[in-house]
Amino acid sequence: MLSLNDIPSDVSRKDKVPTSEELCDATISLWKEDPDTEVLPSSQLFARVVQRCSGWSFDQETFETMLVEKNLYSLDETKLPVYSHLIQVPEMCPDLTLNHVKTSNQSSKYLGNIKILSTSNNHMGRGLFAEKDFKPGQLIYVEEDPICIIPAIEKLALISRGKICALCNLSLGSISSHFIMKNGLDCNTCASVWCSKKCKSKDIIHGALKHNKGNKNKVVNCANWNKFEAHCQKTSNDSAYSLGVIFAQLLLNKDSSKRNKQYLKALCGVSQRVRVRGQYSIQESETSVDKFENKWREVYALFIESFPTLADDIDFETFLFCIGKFNINKLSNNQIYFISSFINHHCEPNVRYEFDSKLKLSLYARKEIKKGEQLYITYVNPLHGVILRRRELRVQYGFICKCCRCKKELEHLDIHKNDKEYDRDEITKNNKLNKNSMDELNRGNIDKNQGNRNNEMARRKSSMRNQRPDLQELLKNGQEFELEIPDVINIGGRRRRTSVRFDETVSMAIEE
């Protein structure tokens, strides 16, 4: 018998064999969507990932080996790679204090509210401290602009068609063509448009990068920049593109170049190579770094071809350091703000920031803050479980969070409690998981405490509800959050899960 389109019914589709990285990404995505799955035993977690990735072919042993190689289940801090000790913390330039930060008259009055000081915590380096008491919701300070405004790489196509502002990326749907023509907000050479005269005057690099105008000293090769930009778009390399925009502004904007160089020089930094190594276990590290080297040498060559005058000053290692510095200092809108770059992380932050449509940053108190207290934001989604939060911090920023919330949640985790850790030496020799320890994980302590685990999940949900920020704040500061809904709602015989999550677009999870 033949099926639809005369395809023999016994011909089975070949499932994809996922890489270790793809399995890791799938597991982390599951944890982000359902934080309760963090505490599942490996056999149940394997089943959930299989269900999620039905077109993949992999066995449980492969999956469990990945868990160890990626350090996803390890709670032993001595076995987790960190690189906070490799982050360079430069001394502040004597003439670069908060009093010298360029601000408008309106925002300068807030600079007396804060102070940059060294911290006693090794991985934090410096921090931002309150110089007065603040009440919840009170405005602490304002930063009018990032150090260098970076258009979003994913919106370059819209910019090229004149759909959004070429600088701040504000939608132009509400601006009439008559207003644009009257105020000269369009480019004379291409379809790019700016939302205001202020944005157009700020965008001093557009002419040089796109049309080779205002490039008297030939600091930019326009044709090669277009190749560099296209490569970054194709490979989704937003950090390399962002670095290119920053250097273009430093080279072309003589008025603010010296000050912005001082701002960037004062920030913490680490090589992107170090950050890549931090993502992998020892046995994976060299192979992964080799792949990384090839990728980044290609983009570095295009970068230097775009800025030929930098060839003697920016070698490959310096380029990687600049990439790493950008990645550990950028905020959620992919911009670097000088003052806000000194704010450290806490899983229960005491401040929050907001951006307006012109990229102005405003920092508000989330709770009561006393004079002398350090200000904290959260670098990761506060609704994620402790394992995922700590992994994101370790991989992206090089440290393991030891805040009171993390310690409290770790104490209540069932995973590995009274169990042996995975035998990593055995993994190194045989690339296989120590079956005894994994068997213990699957059937030992967890099975004996299965009833308690359900109670613990309920307790953690309640704790998360108490600790989470309000909805308005999450919409502004977070990329993902959950809304509680009734436990069971029947929709045509289907059961809806007990949370709805948002990540740019709204999606509802349905279980058959």
* 102-124 pLDDT, tens digit each: 555 556 677 788 998 887 766 67
DSSP state at residue 74: -
Average pLDDT, the chain: 79
The residue assigned the tokens 């994913």 is 154
What is the DSSP pairing of strand 376-377 with strand 344-345? parallel
- pLDDT of 330 over the 80 cut: yes
Cα 343 from Cα 323, distance rounded (Å):
20
Across 63-67, 211-215, 268-272, 375-379, least confident range = 211-215
How far from 121 is each of 114, 167, 220, 344, CA to CA, in Å?
19, 38, 42, 10
One-letter identity of residue 310: L
186 or 421, greater pLDDT: 186
- Of the listed ranges 34-48, 245-259, 441-455, the one predicted with least confidence: 441-455
pLDDT band at 488 (very low <50, low <70, confident <90, very high): very low
Q: Please return the burial class of 458, using the count of CB atoms within 10 Å of its CB with bins 0-12, 13-18 and 19+.
A: exposed
Residue 137 clears pLDDT 80, i.e. is over it: yes
Residue 102, CA distances (Å) to 107, 203, 260 in order: 10, 18, 10
Give pLDDT tens digits for 224-241.
999 999 999 999 999 999
Residue type at 15?
A: D
Evaluate if residue 482 carries a pLDDT over 50: no
- In percent, the amount of the chain with pLDDT more than 90 equals 49
pLDDT, position 467: 43
Sign of CA dihedral 401, 469, 364, 165: positive
* Residue 157, helix vs strand vs coil: helix
Q: First vs last Cα of the chain: how many Å apart?
A: 30
Q: Is the pLDDT at 468 greater than 60, yes or no?
A: no
C-alpha to C-alpha distance for 316 and 303, rounded to whole angstroms = 10
Question: What would the mean pLDDT of 427-454 be, rounded to a whole number?
Answer: 42
Lowest mean pLDDT among 263-267, 273-277, 409-413, 424-428: 424-428
The answer to which of 38-47, 280-289, 390-399, 499-508 has the lowest mean pLDDT is 499-508
b/e per residue 35-55 (b: at least 16 CB within 10 A)? bbbbbbbbbebbebbbeebee
Least confident of 265-279, 306-320, 370-384: 265-279
Q: What is the pLDDT of residues 383-440, one digit of tens each?
A: 888 988 998 999 899 999 999 999 998 887 754 444 434 444 443 443 433 344 444 4
Q: What is the pTM of this model?
A: 0.75
Q: What is the mean pLDDT of residues 183-190?
A: 94
263 with 341: CB under 8 angstroms? no
Compute the distance between CA of residue 400 and CA of residue 299 in angstroms, rounded to an integer: 31
**Residue 102 pLDDT:** 57
Angle at 313 between CA 204 and CA 247, to 5 degrees: 20
Decide if pLDDT at 324 tops 70: yes
Element holding 127 (H helix, E strand): strand 126-130
Number of C-beta neighbours around residue 395 at 10 A: 19
Q: What is the pLDDT of residue 375?
A: 97
Flag whether pLDDT at 19 surpasses 60: yes
The predicted pLDDT at position 337 comes to: 96
376 and 473 Cβ atoms separated by less than 8 Å: no
Which tens digits make up the pLDDT trace of 198-207?
A: 999 999 999 9
| pLDDT reading at 165 higher than 50 | yes
Confidence band of 161 (pLDDT split at 50, 70, 90): very high
pLDDT average, residue stretch 340-359 = 94
List beta partners, residue 194.
none
* Cα–Cα distance measured from residue 162 to residue 503, given in angstroms and rounded to the nearest whole number: 26
d(CA 455, CA 462): 11
Across 86-100, 241-255, 488-502, the highest mean pLDDT is recorded for: 241-255
Could you give the CA distance from residue 348 to residue 324 in angstroms, rounded to a whole number?
Answer: 26
The whole-number average pLDDT for the span 272-298 is: 75
Model confidence at 31, in pLDDT bands (50, 70, 90)? Answer: confident
- Assess whether pLDDT exceeds 80 at residue 260: yes
* 102 compared with 222, residue with greater pLDDT: 222
Confidence of residue 34 (pLDDT cuts 50, 70, 90): confident
Dist CA 441 CA 453 (whole Å): 14
